[in-house]
Amino acid sequence: MKIRLTQTVQKGGCAAKISAEVLRETLGSLDFSSADPAVMIDGRDFDDAGIYRVSEHLALVQTLDFFTPIVDTPELFGAIASANALSDVYAMGGIPKTCMAILAFPLATLDPALMREVLEGARKKIAESGSTLIGGHSIDDDTLKFGLSVTGFVHPGRIWSNSGSRPGDRLILTKPLGTGTLTAGLKNQDYDEEGIREALDSMSQLNSVPTLLTDEELCLIHSATDITGFGLAGHLQQMSRASGVGFHLRFREIPVFNKAFASLQAENLTKAHRSNESYTQGSIHYESGLDPIEKKILFDPQTSGGLLLSVPGAKAVDLLHKIQARFPRASIVGEVHEASAPGTPEIRLHD
């Protein structure tokens, strides 16, 4: 009998993350600053990865990400978990170089042969990125969990972070939204994997935007983040707070997977849909009519979602066309403005 991995866990993918609200309340008082001047980016702005300068021309990008199964096929789970972890390096403008695997496996309930399948999916995706799996660690646990610790390289002068958006920039989103509700539908058996193939292919796709751009174009990315478990709204709020700017989004320009609204209507939801909405309720302002289902897509927890890039307005269309060669549904979804109240995150939604 074939094991459906999504039936072995209560929650899967980035929807299993501890909510941003809880993290800020719990960790906000911790001092993440370092006396080491080589630390260029740490945890203070909830960025996607840390940056450590090695020399005038080289800095290390370091990140770690793991989660429970979001799909039923072991090899596909390994590929998606790996693409998701590698994404944090790309979101900083870097190129991944080495990976270490993190594996928790329930030996009492699952066939150990499944470990090989998960790792085979990871191995293929890591090889596709041009990086190398150099080791890892495993434990016997009650539920399957898998992910990677990734180290990448970036030039210290071409680092992307979530704190550099400038008024006049335009926002490019590289992948559609909806993985949270569609994979919840998979777990609820409203869909099988083939029925949400569009979303699975997107989650498996590497966010390798930096490899598409020249050195000059890399410097045009003023700010960046990848859209994962906190949803588009949550990650926009973090970028707004870190950059000290406000965002105006055009809802109809936001790319969404074909079945996502129907899945939300069918109430294929996760706890993260509610926590993401709660986290951003003071920042989002609706300036045109959106129905409740449309609003939910803003809080949908993405797994291996797209990159959100803040780029100069005059260069946005040219950069979009270049990105669309690999991410055909990439779209300009909004603009950056001066914040109405300095220090207060602001996201305004237009039709």
Total structural domains within the chain: 2
Last residue of a domain, one of 110, 132, 158: 158
The answer for residues whose C-beta is within 8 angstroms of residue 117's C-beta and 6 or more apart is: 74, 75, 78
SS3 96: strand
Query: Is position 312 within any domain?
Result: yes
Which residue, among 319, 345, 330, has the nearest Cα to 255 in the 3D structure? 330
**Is the per-residue pLDDT at 1 higher than 60?**
no
332 and 308 fall within a common domain = yes
Q: What is the CATH number of the domain that holds 145?
A: 3.30.1330.10
Instruction: Tell me the pLDDT tens digit for each residue of 69-109.
Output: 999 999 999 999 999 999 999 999 999 999 999 999 999 99
Long-range contacts of 53-57 (CB under 8 A, 24+ apart): 53/156, 56/156, 57/155, 57/156
Place of tokens 């972890």: 85
Active site residue 14: yes
58 and 183 fall within a common domain = no
129 and 107 fall within a common domain = yes
Rounded to a whole number of angstroms, the CA Rg of the chain reads 19
119 and 209 fall within a common domain = no
Last residue of a domain, one of 158, 185, 202: 158
Query: Is position 328 within any domain?
Result: yes
Query: Is position 191 within any domain?
Result: yes
201 and 278 fall within a common domain = yes
Instruction: Tell me the pLDDT tens digit for each residue of 105-156.
Output: 999 999 999 999 999 999 999 999 999 999 999 999 999 999 999 999 999 9
Query: Is position 163 within any domain?
Result: no
64 and 144 fall within a common domain = yes
Please give the residue range of the domain that contains residue 32. Answer: 5-158
Query: Is position 105 within any domain?
Result: yes
pTM, full prediction: 0.95
Helices 113-129 and 74-91: crossing angle in degrees, nearest 10, is 30
* Tokens found for residue 33: 């600053």
Distance between CA atoms of residues 228 and 235, nearest Å: 8
27 and 109 fall within a common domain = yes
Residues across the chain: 351
87 and 180 fall within a common domain = no
**Set 9, 14, 59, 221: catalytic member:** 14
Distance between CA atoms of residues 96 and 99, nearest Å: 8
Asked if 73 contacts 15 with a C-beta cutoff of 8 angstroms, the reply is: no
SS3 135: strand
* Tokens found for residue 178: 């909806």
Last residue of a domain, one of 138, 158, 178: 158
Chain centroid to Cα 105, Å, comes to 24
Q: Which residue would you say has higher pLDDT here, 235 or 45?
A: 235
**Is the per-residue pLDDT at 226 higher than 60?**
yes
187 and 113 fall within a common domain = no
User: Judging by DSSP bridges, how do beta strands 145-154 and 95-105 pair with one another?
Assistant: antiparallel
